[in-house]
Structure 1
Amino acid sequence: MFVVTVTYTAPLKDVDQWRPAHGEWLNDLITRRLLLVAGRQVPLVGGVYLTTDMPAEELAQILASDPYVLNNVATHSVVEFTPLLLADGLESLKN
């Protein structure tokens, strides 16, 4: 499983023009259950995603298709982790 942080590398006015395409991209990944959670950082300097378990190479390909990345307005940072302690109801996230 991975936590991905998104960092904007361009002014918000430049990021905003790609927000609809980025939102569609996120919705597709959530529908396909490749992402479990996606949201904005506070303050708005980027975002955060929680992914399902997948090979790192697959995640790299997915992130490379982000409209923000394709249009050079954001970068991603990835942390892989193994869930060990989970709240009730989230047991399916544990390998």
Structure 2
Amino acid sequence: MLHLLIVSYTGSEEDAAPFVRDHVEYLERHHADGVFLVSGQTVPSSQGGAIVACGVDREAIERISAEDPFVVNGVATHAITTIEPGRVHAALAAPLTAAAASRD
């Protein structure tokens, strides 16, 4: 199962600035544990960012999302779209399978 998290600032980028360090640590922790596959800022960055997550169910990703320091401090929200992949590019099949297996 994949999850697309759209991170949207509730105010300005400057409002989020005091929490960037903690947000980056949050991202790094979940990249290290294999849940976050991709994360980055939107273009333009003033809109927020996005995260692609894998290997956890909807309940778990909602819990992880709620722990984002941006969300905790009210400077951003996450919109979560859960995807059950039907077709996967060959270049992504092995990493997605490995990410899902590491969470089992």
Same fold, judged at TM 0.5 (above)? yes
Partner SS state of residue 34, structure 2: coil
The count of corresponding residues between Structure 1 and Structure 2 is 95
Any residues of structure 2 matched to 1:49-68 within 5 Å, and which?
49-68=51-70
Indicate whether 1:29 and 2:27 are aligned.
no
Return 5+ residue gaps in structure 1 as ranges: none
**Aligned equivalents of 2:83, 2:55: Cα separation in 1:** 9
> C-alpha displacement at 1:38, in angstroms?
0.3
Q: Please, which runs of 5 or more residues in structure 2 have no aligned partner?
A: none
Q: Which residue of structure 1 lines up, in the alignment, with residue 91 of structure 2?
A: 89
Task: Name the amino acid aligned to 1:71.
Answer: N
**CA shift digits 1:41-71 (9 cap, x unpaired):** 0111110110013111111110111000010
Q: Distance in 2 between matches of 1:8 and 1:47?
A: 9
Shifted more, 30-39 versus 83-92: the winner is 83-92
Aligned 8 A contact 1:2 1:53 in 2: no
Question: Identity of paired residues, percent?
Answer: 29
Query: SS where residue 15 of structure 2 aligns?
Result: helix
Output the TM-score relative to the length of structure 2: 0.84
| 1:48 equivalent in structure 2 | 50
Which residue matches 1:6? 7
Moved over 6 A (4+): none
TM-score (norm 1): 0.92
